[in-house]
Each structure stands twice: as C-alpha cells, then as structure tokens.
C-alpha cells in the first residue's frame, strides 16, 4: 500500500515538474485570449508539496474546501395549488448539506418580490406545503427559488453558499 502511495506521489511530482518546465520553456506569462475569454495563469493559490505528507495535507484541505462550498439541491420542479396561495411542493435542505438553509420563492421577473421566505431549516428537513404571501392567478407560473446556506460564526449569520433555480407553480 505504501509503495502504491509513493508511486502516485512520484507520478504527480513528475507531472507537476513537466508542467512547470513547459510553462518556463514557452515563456508565456501574458494572458491568452480565446473566443473572447481571457485565460490567465494562476499566480496565487498554488501549493508546493515537497513530500507525501505535504501532498496529503494539501489534498485534505482541498477536499474540505470543496465540501464546505458545495450545495446539494433537493426539490421537485413543480408545486400545485387549487387556490393560488396554498401549494403542495417539495423544497428541502438536503441531508448531505453542512449548513442550515433559508429558502426564498420570488417572482421570476422581480427577485425582490418575495412570495415565500422560510426560517432556517437544518439539513434533512423539507417543506411539503407552503403558503405564498399573495395568491397567483390560474395557470403555470415559473418562479425563482433561492436556496441559501447560512452558518452562525461569532454570533453573526454568514452566507456559505447560494443557488437559484426555477420551479413551476401550477394553479388549477
């Protein structure tokens, strides 16, 4: 097992050395423009590892950072109502998330028009029914649903991640 880890570390070190030599040989320090996008070379956030322990620490830190910034979504893309105000739905804070979540439903064309705002809900909890602040007319309305992860740090609420999806609210 240890020989396998050392082999992976050696292979990774060789790849990093080849990339470094290629960049040095090309002498490319300026940004590259491709299809209207500017691609630049990283100047910060680069970790240099000198042994297997440093590599493992850098890898563990990268996995931790990726996990903390991840939002797992759990919802159904349609909600139904007969009166335009009370909807059956499924909007959840996935059990795999790390943080409590606030869910906000707003008009698609005006994100400041809040139709529903939840309290913080812990991972693994969901809404099966919600009441909007005002009734919608019969028909299908595509509304925006914001999922916002919030943590409490030093007695302050801090946004840890946020994403916006469209959900059809159908009034029969």
What are the angstrom distances between the C-alpha of 171 and each of 60, 64, 78, 87, 164? 48, 43, 11, 9, 22
pLDDT in the model for residue 28: 43
At 78, is the pLDDT very low, low, confident or very high (cuts 50, 70, 90)? very high
**Same-domain pairing of 56 and 103:** no
**Same-domain pairing of 80 and 112:** yes
**Same-domain pairing of 51 and 83:** no
**Same-domain pairing of 147 and 120:** yes
**pLDDT tens across 5-41, in order?**
444 444 444 444 444 444 444 444 444 444 445 444 4
Among 68, 91, 123, residue at a domain's last position: 68
Q: Are 149 and 98 in contact (CB under 8 A)?
A: yes
**Same-domain pairing of 130 and 81:** yes
The residue among 142, 130, 133 whose CA lies nearest residue 168 is 142
**Same-domain pairing of 56 and 79:** no
Token pair for residue 171?
Answer: 């009034």
What are the angstrom distances between the C-alpha of 148 and each of 13, 94, 101, 119, 155? 39, 12, 5, 11, 18
Residue 11 belongs to what domain range? 2-68
**Same-domain pairing of 28 and 111:** no
**Same-domain pairing of 96 and 21:** no
Determine if the pTM surpasses 0.95.
no
Average of per-residue pLDDT across 149-157: 91
Q: Which residue in this structure is represented by tokens 């620490």?
A: 57
Q: Are 103 and 145 in contact (CB under 8 A)?
A: yes
Q: From the CA atom positions of the chain, what is the Rg in Å? A: 24
**Same-domain pairing of 88 and 154:** yes
What are the angstrom distances between the C-alpha of 149 and each of 98, 117, 156, 161, 166? 8, 14, 14, 5, 18
- Counting the structural domains of the chain, the total is 2
């Amino acid at each position: 097992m240890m020989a396998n880890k050392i082999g992976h570390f050696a292979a990774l070190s060789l790849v990093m050395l080849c990339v470094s030599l290629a960049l040095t040989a090309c002498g490319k320090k300026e940004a590259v423009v491709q299809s209207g996008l500017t691609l630049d070379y990283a100047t910060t956030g680069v970790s240099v590892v000198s042994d297997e322990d440093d590599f493992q620490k850098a890898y563990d830190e990268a996995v931790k950072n990726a996990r903390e910034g991840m939002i797992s979504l759990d919802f159904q893309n349609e909600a139904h109502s007969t009166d335009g105000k009370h909807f059956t739905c499924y909007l959840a804070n996935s059990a795999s998330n790390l943080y409590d979540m606030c869910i906000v439903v707003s008009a698609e064309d005006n994100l400041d028009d809040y139709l529903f705002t939840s309290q913080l809900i812990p991972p693994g909890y969901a809404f099966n029914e919600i009441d909007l602040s005002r009734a919608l007319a019969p028909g299908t309305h595509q509304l925006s649903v914001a999922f916002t992860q919030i943590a409490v740090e030093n007695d302050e609420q801090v946004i840890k991640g946020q994403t916006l999806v469209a959900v059809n609210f159908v009034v029969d």
